[in-house]
Amino acid sequence: MKELKEKQLKFYANWKKRRNKKFQFIFLHGTVYWGIPTGILLFLFDSHFSTENMDLTRFVITITIFSIGGLFFGLIQYIGIDKRFLNLNKDNKIFKE
């Protein structure tokens, strides 16, 4: 059984608490932190930062699409982090669930 580093112990303790709030993680990290900002930036770049080229309908469509895509992005992040957590737990029998 290999010893865990301090960083790994901190990650394990933090993720053990956070993994119970799966939808909250997916929504925040996917939609709020990635989807909406990316949608806004794409909309601004697409309209060349000019108010004449901005259209409310296109803005709503862009934000909606990136918000939905953000849910998938958040899910992929959650799965990746959870795999790391499970592998850490699998290798070290000292942690009992």
The full set of domain ranges for the chain reads 22-89
Degrees to nearest 5, angle at CA 36 with 18 and 33: 30
SS3 55: coil
pLDDT band, residue 90 (cuts 50/70/90):
confident
pLDDT surpassing 60 at residue 96: no
Tokens of 87: 């592998």
CA torsion sign, 85 to 90 to 91 to 93? Answer: positive
Q: Is the distance from CB of 70 to CB of 34 less than 8 angstroms?
A: yes
Instruction: Report pLDDT digits (tens) over 7-61.
Output: 888 888 888 889 899 999 999 999 999 999 999 999 999 999 998 989 999 999 9
Task: Note the Cα 9 to chain centre separation in Å.
Answer: 22
pLDDT, the chain, mean: 89
Model-level pTM?
A: 0.81
pLDDT of residue 97: 47
d(CA 97, CA 60): 44
pLDDT surpassing 80 at residue 79: yes
pLDDT band, residue 95 (cuts 50/70/90):
low
Tell me the residue ranges of DSSP E strands in the chain. Answer: none
